[in-house]
Structure 1
Amino acid sequence: MNVVEFLGLQAAPGSQRWQMTIAREHCGGRDSIYGGCGLAASIEAAEACTNRPTLFASCQFLGPARLGECLDLDVHLSSAGRAVTHARVIGSVDGKETFITLISLGERSFPATGTWNRMPDVPGPEGLPARYILESNRGGLREILEERAVTDDPDGIMRNPDGRAAVWARLPGGVPASASALAIIGDEVSTGTSAVIEPDMQAPSIDNTLRVVRPRACEWVLAEIDLHAAERGFAHGTVNLWTPDGELLGIASQTGALRIRGT
């Protein structure tokens, strides 16, 4: 899937502004933009303006951008060095800011490489059930993002009181080698809260962060979710993103506000 085409991103002539109209497939369960889609749009806009690949991106959500609204994304280059560019992407609707993304882009050649985390030993997606989602929350992005829950429950309900859960995910046509695709798939900490605390629990994010190791095209991506803590009404977690053969693509993290789905 081409993420730019999926988001409907278009560049405004002669500026560092991009625009998209928020469609149903860009939304979560409440007809506002899905956090991972907002981060993905920021990444694509910044990469287009700098011609550099994303290393790190962190999006702070200030307010909702709703179904049918025109979202403006203005890219501001804060610093451009030999290897790394630092930028800000401001998302707004009718002049009102809805999110701000800090993003670092670039790459270097250096001989030291390695991955010291290891992919968990879990079954592949074939034969696993679709992840349980409350019926009222099944529209929007969830209609095209296929998820298979690593669970023995035939209904796809995950119960992981140890704080660790896993979901296989893929986009239509597979997962492309792009940081923006990882931003969409990595938005899974809320999934971890439902697995660890209560099946109908969720944690809409106040931020989405992604650290990119190396994007790689693959059919499925394993989202290994670690829910680290829940306190003061918020949950904190990380998501390691793996290829089926155990290559680490990136690390996502989020803080989310706890609530029961539908409330």
Structure 2
Amino acid sequence: MDKLFFDLRPTHNPHRWYLPVDPSICVGPPGSLFMFGGVGMASAVAALERTTGRPLIWATAQYLGFARPGSVVDIDVWTPVQGKYNTQANTKGHVDDKEIISVSAALGSRPSEISGQWSEAPVVPPPEDCEPSNHWRAATEGLHSRMEVRIAKGRSGVDRIGNPEPDGRTLLWARPREGFAIDASMLAVMADFVPQGVGNALGKNAGGNSLDNTLRIRRIVPTDWVLCDIRISGVYGGFGHGSMHLYAQDGELMATASQSLIVRVRDSAEDR
């Protein structure tokens, strides 16, 4: 099995896995780190694929709580329906008796020669010609330090203030710095970058906390970089909604994602 971006471990029970939470998979201010939501979903996806032996078709996560460094997330997998070609499954991720994340999914594949793609990748400069995205907190450790992100459309950090994107769209190239393969679990991590588009859409130093995320896999192909096409649909009443298309470097549509989030506008004290 390929090495994962996070330290998911098996147990004697093939339907139970566990994930030690260390700062390398966390985000947040110093002293208040928490596991990145995309890692929670990605670890569930990896547990589901390894338990069923089938590739992911779609997964939807509901974020219910925070897992802090030093804790352990237990991931229990249920497979209530197992068909000839696909499995309907779900997981519960919990720290002790506190539920952190709930994921429902379908996994499998069917013999078919039919293939089509009607969503075209936007024409953007290659990653090496795009500016690096500087995280607003200038994190030198944690999850953001492990991801290389380059901006093809939009701005990062305080540069977004007063510069809204009229179409609510942000385009980012992303890849793990440590060379991990781009698989369904790695796409699940990147899919949780949707909140990064909020600041560009609003023209504010803003982001958010994810309430949910849905990832739909089309076709995963070998690629070094992933083009994340983030589109913020709207913001109202303190909540926002957005989606993402994830493309390989050759323009192949690998997956789509969508989520809702709590919108956070950061004040000048946090900026410093």
Instruction: Report the TM-score when normalising by structure 2.
Output: 0.90
Counterpart residue type for residue 80 of structure 1: Q
Counterpart residue type for residue 100 of structure 2: T
Counterpart residue type for residue 189 of structure 1: V
Superposed displacement of residue 151, structure 1: 4.1
> Which one of 176, 194, 197 corresponds to residue 181 of structure 2?
176
What SS is found at the alignment partner of 2:214?
Answer: strand
CA shift digits 1:34-73 (9 cap, x unpaired): 1110111001101111000000011101111111111100
Matching of residue 76 in structure 1 with residue 81 in structure 2: no
Is the 2:155–2:200 Cα contact (8 Å) retained in structure 1? no
Q: Which residue pairs with 1:52 in the alignment? A: 54
CA shift digits 1:74-127 (9 cap, x unpaired): 001121111110111100001211110001100112233100000001111113
Q: Structure 1 CA distance, aligned partners of 2:53 and 2:74? A: 20
Superposed displacement of residue 15, structure 1: 4.0
Is the 1:29–1:138 Cα contact (8 Å) retained in structure 2? no
Q: Structure 1 CA distance, aligned partners of 2:195 and 2:3? A: 22
Is the 1:57–1:209 Cα contact (8 Å) retained in structure 2? yes
What SS is found at the alignment partner of 1:126?
Answer: helix
> Which one of 100, 105, 111 corresponds to residue 98 of structure 1?
100
Is the 2:158–2:205 Cα contact (8 Å) retained in structure 1? no
Q: Structure 2 CA distance, aligned partners of 1:18 and 1:186? A: 22
Matching of residue 259 in structure 1 with residue 264 in structure 2: yes
For 1:207-222, list aligned pairs within 5 A.
207-222=212-227
Q: Which residue pairs with 1:19 in the alignment? A: 18
Is the 1:130–1:156 Cα contact (8 Å) retained in structure 2? no
> Which one of 247, 252, 258 corresponds to residue 247 of structure 1?
252
Q: Structure 2 CA distance, aligned partners of 1:169 and 1:154? A: 14
Q: Structure 2 CA distance, aligned partners of 1:45 and 1:186? A: 18
Out of 126-135 and 183-192, give the one that drifted further. Answer: 126-135
Count of residues in correspondence between the two structures: 262
Superposed displacement of residue 138, structure 1: 5.8
Q: Structure 1 CA distance, aligned partners of 2:15 and 2:155? A: 48
Is the 2:14–2:51 Cα contact (8 Å) retained in structure 1? no
CA shift digits 1:160-188 (9 cap, x unpaired): 22111100000124452410010111212
Distance 1:124 1:143, change over 3 A: same
Instruction: Report the TM-score when normalising by structure 1.
Output: 0.93
Distance 1:138 1:257, change over 3 A: farther
Matching of residue 161 in structure 1 with residue 129 in structure 2: no
Is the 1:129–1:154 Cα contact (8 Å) retained in structure 2? no
Is the 1:27–1:34 Cα contact (8 Å) retained in structure 2? yes
Distance 1:121 1:156, change over 3 A: farther
Query: Structure 1: any 5+ residue segments left out of the alignment?
Result: none
Distance 1:98 1:153, change over 3 A: closer
CA shift digits 1:133-167 (9 cap, x unpaired): 21265641100100001148698945422111100
> Which one of 227, 230, 234 corresponds to residue 232 of structure 2?
227
Q: Structure 1 CA distance, aligned partners of 2:239 and 2:156? A: 29
Counterpart residue type for residue 226 of structure 1: R
Q: Which residue pairs with 1:61 in the alignment? A: 63
Query: Structure 2: any 5+ residue segments left out of the alignment?
Result: none
What SS is found at the alignment partner of 2:199?
Answer: helix
Superposed displacement of residue 245, structure 1: 1.1
Is the 1:146–1:170 Cα contact (8 Å) retained in structure 2? yes
Counterpart residue type for residue 25 of structure 1: S
Superposed displacement of residue 217, structure 1: 2.4
Out of 40-49 and 170-179, give the one that drifted further. Answer: 170-179
Q: Quick one: percent identity of the two aligned structures?
A: 33
Distance 1:155 1:135, change over 3 A: closer
